[in-house]
Every structure is written in C-alpha cells, then in structure tokens.
Amino acid sequence: MSKLTHLTLTEARDGLSKGDFSARELTQAHVEAVEACRSLNAFITETPDKALDGADASDKRRSKGEAGVLEGIPLAIKDLFCTQDVLTTAGSHILDGFQPQYESTVSANLWAAGAVMLGKTNLDEFAMGSSNMTSYYGGVENPWRREGSNAPLVPGGSSGGSAAAVAARCAMGATGTDTGGSIRQPAAFCGVVGMKPTYGRCSRWGIVAFASSLDQAGPMTRGVRDAAIMLRGMAGHDPKDSTSVDTPVPDYEAAMNGDVRGLKVGIPKEYRIDGTPAEIDTVWQQGIEWLKAAGAEMVDISLPHTKYALPTYYIVAPAEASSNLARYDGVRYGLRVQGDTLDEMYEATRGEGFGAEVKRRILIGAYVLSAGYYDAYYNKARRIRTLIANDFKAAYEKVDVVLTPTAPSAAFGMGDKMDDPVAMYLNDVFTVPASLAGLPGISLPAGLSADGLPLGLQLLGQPFEEGTLLKVAEVLETAAEFDALPQIIS
C-alpha cells in the first residue's frame, strides 16, 4: 500500500470505502506529517487531538453506513476561517487570542461532509499579499527548491500555508480564499490545484473579510478530481450570507467525462505581456496544443480592458479593506494596547496590531474613499470593473472557457520584492481580472521551469459553470502528466 500521505484525496476516499485503512490511521499519518514539516511554517495552529477525535467519530459513522462526501479525509483550514473554540488569527497580531464561538459556514459544511481538521494554515496578514511574507507569524517556505540551490522560496499568497501543506503531503486538501488570485497563484507556485469558484458559490459567512465584493473560498488539492469532490463539500446556499447564490450544487465529479471535443477555448491576446519569461509562454502554448489534440477548438479573443484590471483592483480592494478593518479596535476581542484615552487606545492597538502591508492598504483605501477623491478614484474603478466584466461576457458568447497562464513567473525567493509593492502586486496580473468579474477559475500544474519549479495554467469559466471548468482542467491534467515532487516532503 502506498504511503498514506501520498495518496490523493480521491484515492484516500476510495481506500476508506474499501476498508483498506481507517480514518484514524489516515489522520494519524497526516498528524505526523504536519509535525515533520514544521520547518515550512505552514501552520499557525495544529489541532492533532481534534483531528484524531474527528477521525474516530468518522470511523463510527462509516461503520453505521453514514459516510459523507468527505468522510474521514484530513484537511487543513486557512486561518481566515472562523473555527469554533480554535484560535483564529487571520495572520495578524491584532487578533491575538481570538477563539470564535461559532463556525464558518464553509468549514461547518466540510465537517458535516465528514472531513477532519488537522489545523489552521498560515497566510498573508488579512489575506493581503502575494508571497505569504506579511504574516505576523512569519513567512511560509515553499517545499520546492530551485535545482542546485537550497535557498528558500515563497509559496505565493495569500493562501501560501494551505498550498505548501498540500504540496508537502501534510494535508489531503486545504481551504483557501481568493480575492485577487490568492488561491490560484500559490497553487501555481507550489505545484498543486487551486480553484476559485464563482462569487457567491461558497458562503463568506465566518470568513474574516478583506474585500467583501471579491472574497471567495475555494479548495486547494493535489488533483483536479480532488478539487471537484472538495468543492461539492464546501459549496451551498447560505441565508446568513446576503451574497450567497441560491442555486443547486451539482455533482462536479459526474461532469468530468474527459470529453472536450467541440468545446471552444478562448486565447486572450492581452495576456501576452511584454517581459513575461519565455517559459511561461511555452507552457501556455503547450496547454493550447494539449486541448487541440483532445478535440477542443482554439478561438482568439480580446479582453480589451485587461490592462486596467490591476489598478482597478488596487483601488476597489483597499477601499473595502479600509472599511472592513475598522472593526478591529481593541475593545471587544483580540489585542488591546492601553492608552490614556479611548482614542489613544484605538490608535495604539491598531498601530501595533496591524503590519506594514495592512496599514498601506488601509491608507490607500481611506484615501480613495475620501471627500474629493471618491469620484476620481473609487467610482471610476467601479465603472471600469463593469467594463472588465462585460469583456468576459462578450467573450463567452464565442467560447466556453478561457486558457491563460496563472502567474507571470515561477516562485521567487523569500524576501524578494518586499521593498517594491508594485512588483509584488504584479504577481496577480493574470488572476485579478476574473476576480473583478466574479468568475470561476482554476490553476493546475502543467510543467517545470528551467530551474525545476512548477508552472501553472489557468482556466477561466462562465458563472456557475464549475463543472465545465473541472472537466477541461482534468483533460489538461491528464495530458500534462505532472508527477514531480517538491524537495521537502513528508
């Protein structure tokens, strides 16, 4: 039997169903794997006792014939999801000691489906970052290394802890959140699959908010079929979330029949950006050839407002963040730094509790919302966002999905770009447009760079057509035959 931590989620599900091993055995193996990979700093909080108790309960349910969709599967949860009585930090000092008395809807759905929690994964503070270097709890190391070098690399962000944990075989899957690419970009950097569903597909209730009109939870796994299974367990309408869409959650796995003949795939010319490394274009062209060989039709399309997506995002997202983060004041929960007056306490708490990147975005957000600048910046950004969404709407009258690279480079070194916010923000150049339009997207590993690091391909789909997206992604995955392993692995 294969080492339990090296099974895919799909293989583990089938093995549990056949009785090849128990949920406790599977979970114990992953608890030990989490401990073995602590050097990566992928977890903020480990919950081994909770995991093993959950596994025992899972085995009992299975013996009664009550197995759920994710019965006995050990998962990691990004520390942006509130978990009842378990420390939830959002990677920030300002939430020191916060143990929610409630469970996020997404994590509650996963537990209802039979999954088991291994712990809470590290992330950029309040999900603000593309490297997982802004966390109060320190940066996460990517388990991959460049050939001939042991220099640590970033896992991408903000869901870098989740991506690293899945890549290092510490967890069979993990939750992430994607505001401008924070599932897809770290998935590409770590050689795993990351999916952002349509905005409204998964509830945002109980997820610490960054930008409410953009945030969306999604699965991070080692295979496309795994993502389909996990998404089914996560998704669903939630009356507690006013942006949750009341539409049935299909059996995504059933839609994955491997047949993409006649499907039209859009290739946007605006994603061919000057200065992009040749190996990114090469893997993109390889993806095109794989889909052609499978019987899909390539269609050149134009998304003319793409060049405005990044500046639009960095107006809309900080504006919403400045509003959302106003609730952290040291009064009700988390960190409190005393002052002589109430105002001084607010200022001291927020000054000490927030990191530099969070402060930068709060300041930008407050500026673009301020009197005299609201129309010049925020309202204009909202209008351009509509134009970006309309570009995609027009494209989907001609094509079924869109194929692009996921990121403009492979993983970079820890500490690189930290003194250049614009260079850091450019990591999201391929992922932000779909976030602004609320569309589903998936990244999957498709090849290796010249120095042996994973490169990702991104597929973007029509609203609530995750099934089509997953079907095409699995065809790409089969063609890519990506089986390379990171150097640091449990």
Active site residues: 78, 158, 182
Scored b (16 or more CB within 10 A) or e, 211-226 reads bbbbbbbbbbbbbbbb
Tally Cβ neighbours within 10 Å of residue 247: 14
Name, in order, each residue with C-beta under 8 angstroms of 375's C-beta and a sequence gap of 6 or more.
Answer: none
Name, in order, each residue with C-beta under 8 angstroms of 110's C-beta and a sequence gap of 6 or more.
Answer: 70, 75, 175, 233, 234
Here the tokens at position 140 are 């996460």
* Residue type (1 letter), 260: V
What whole-number distance in Å separates Cα of residue 450 and Cα of residue 360?
Answer: 35
What whole-number distance in Å separates Cα of residue 490 and Cα of residue 279?
Answer: 29
Indicate the DSSP class of residue 120.
E
Strands 74-78 and 173-178: parallel
What whole-number distance in Å separates Cα of residue 217 and Cα of residue 111?
Answer: 16
Indicate the DSSP class of residue 207.
B
| 211 within 8 A of 243, measured Cβ to Cβ | no
Here the tokens at position 48 are 């081994």
Token pair 């388990």 in the structure block, residue:
143
> Count of alpha carbons within 13 Å of 203, Cβ hemisphere only?
22
Residue 303 in 3-state DSSP? coil
What whole-number distance in Å separates Cα of residue 383 and Cα of residue 409?
Answer: 30
What whole-number distance in Å separates Cα of residue 213 and Cα of residue 302?
Answer: 25
